[in-house]
C-alpha cells in the first residue's frame, strides 16, 4: 500500500475511529452473535449468519484501517514550498467561467470535506492545481467538462 500524508488532526481522527471499532464495534458484534446464538439451531439461523458476516466485515474494516495508519505519515509543512500548490496549501481560486471566488485547503483523500472547503489532492481539481503558483491558470477536466481556474493566492 502506498504512503499517504495526513495532518496531525487527520491521523488522530483515523486512530480514534480504529480504537472505537476495536472496542465498541467488537463489543456490539459479539452481543449480536450472542443474541443470535440464543435463538436456537445455528444451521437454520439467518440472524446468526448475518451477525457472523457483519463481524467479518468489521474485522476487515479494522484490518484496512490498521494498514492505512501503518502507512500514514504526518506532514511537516515547514519544509514545503509555500509558493506552489501542494498538500496542505490554502488556495484562493477564481473560476474564469463565472468569476466565482473559491477557497480550498488541499488535504489527503480521507480528510476531504467539500462543505468545510477541504478537497483531496487526488480529486480532479486537486490534481490539476498541484505544482501551480499564484497567477497561473489551471485548466482542469472534471466530469461536467473543462474548467479554468486562475490561482489568486497560495498560502500555508
Check residue 22 and give its pLDDT: 95
pLDDT digits (tens, 9 = 90+) for 25-59: 999 999 998 888 887 766 677 888 888 899 999 99
CA 106 to centroid of chain Cα atoms: 11
Residues above pLDDT 70, as percent of the chain: 94
Residues 54 and 9 in one domain: yes
Regarding whether 101 and 133 lie in a shared domain, the answer is yes
C-alpha cell at 104: 480550498
Say whether both 47 and 91 belong to one domain: no
Q: Among 27, 47, 74, give the residue marking a domain's end.
A: 74
Residue 39: give the domain boundaries. 4-74
| Distance, CA of 149 to CA of 136 (rounded, Å) | 8
Going by DSSP bridges, is the β-strand pair 72-74/4-6 parallel, antiparallel, or unpaired?
A: parallel
Domain CATH code at residue 144: 3.10.50.30
Domain-terminating residue out of 74, 104, 134: 74
Cell of 10: 487527520
Q: Specify whether 90 is located in the same domain as 101.
A: yes
Terminal C-alpha separation, the chain: 28
**Which run of H or E residues covers position 136?**
none
**Residue 48: per-residue pLDDT:** 84
The pLDDT of 2-12, averaged and rounded, is: 81
Domain identity same for 122 and 63: no
**Is the domain of 81 the same as that of 66?**
no
The reported pTM is 0.64
Q: State how far the Cα of 109 lies from the Cα of 98, in Å rounded to an integer.
A: 27
For the four alpha carbons of 47, 64, 88 and 142, in that order, the dihedral sign comes to negative
- 136 and 69 housed in the same domain: no
Shared domain for 20 and 68, answered yes or no, is yes
Query: Which of 74, 93, 125 is a domain's end point?
Result: 74
CA–CA distance, 153 with 80 (Å, rounded to integer)? 16
Count of the separate structural domains present in the chain: 2
Q: Which of 1, 111, 125, 15 is CA-nearest to residue 66?
A: 15
| Element holding 90 (H helix, E strand) | strand 90-95
Do 56 and 97 share a domain, yes or no?
Answer: no
pLDDT in tens, 61-108: 999 999 988 988 887 767 666 788 988 889 999 999 899 999 999 988
pLDDT digits (tens, 9 = 90+) for 107-139: 888 888 999 999 998 899 999 999 999 999 999
Q: Are 32 and 87 found together in one domain?
A: no
Amino acid at each position: 500500500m502506498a504512503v499517504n500524508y495526513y495532518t496531525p488532526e487527520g491521523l488522530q481522527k483515523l486512530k480514534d475511529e480504529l480504537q472505537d471499532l476495536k472496542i465498541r464495534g467488537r463489543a456490539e458484534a459479539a452481543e449480536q452473535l450472542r443474541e443470535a446464538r440464543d435463538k436456537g439451531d445455528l444451521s437454520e439461523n439467518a440472524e446468526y449468519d448475518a451477525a457472523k458476516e457483519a463481524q467479518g466485515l468489521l474485522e476487515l474494516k479494522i484490518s484496512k484501517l490498521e494498514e492505512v495508519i501503518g502507512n500514514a505519515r504526518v506532514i511537516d509543512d515547514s519544509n514545503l514550498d509555500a509558493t506552489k500548490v501542494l498538500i496542505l496549501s490554502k488556495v484562493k481560486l477564481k473560476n474564469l467561467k463565472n468569476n466565482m471566488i473559491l477557497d480550498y485547503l488541499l488535504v489527503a483523500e480521507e480528510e476531504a470535506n467539500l462543505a468545510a472547503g477541504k478537497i483531496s489532492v487526488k480529486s480532479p481539481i486537486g490534481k490539476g492545481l498541484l505544482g501551480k503558483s499564484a497567477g497561473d491558470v489551471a485548466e482542469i477536466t472534471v466530469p461536467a467538462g473543462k474548467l479554468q481556474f486562475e490561482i489568486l493566492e497560495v498560502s500555508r
